Amino acid sequence: MKSITNLIVNLSLITLFSCVLSGVALAKKTTEIYKWVDKEGRVHYAARPGDSSAKKMHLGSRIFHKTDEEKQQADAEKKQNDVRAKLCQDSKDTLAKYKKAPFLNRYDEERKQKVRLTESETKEAFLQAEKDIRYWCNPPQKAEESKDE
């Protein structure tokens, strides 16, 4: 008697599991999302189209799921942007220090002491600091953009 009961319970569980799995698979296939931009420029996503410009999207679309390669590229770009932001701030701080200082020094290895910069060396240091700010604080040109120029 127990074996028949166990068999019925097992078959019921298998049938229930199969139905649930089939329902999930069908729901994923038939789910549609619409995307549109309103007059104010706001992007909307909904199960029904909001206006005539709405485009049908699918949950499997790349907009919802980034590939591993895209994630790695996004992470690398974020790290690179963080480094650029740090170098930008450092360059701005350096120029601010130069402007506050009454004169600039450099370390002379032969004499083992600080030596005051000449007027031309000071101008060159200021120009280099400004050049560093322009380089680090402006976004880098992408390959496609530089080809067009």
Mean pLDDT per segment of 10 residues, for the chain of length 149 residues?
A: 75 78 61 80 81 74 64 88 94 95 91 92 94 90 53
pTM comes to 0.49
Between the CA of residue 62 and those of 66, 73, 104, what are the distances in Å?
Answer: 6, 15, 54
* DSSP H helices in 1-149: 2-30, 68-100, 119-137, 143-148
Nearest to 63 by CA among 102, 87, 35, 105: 35
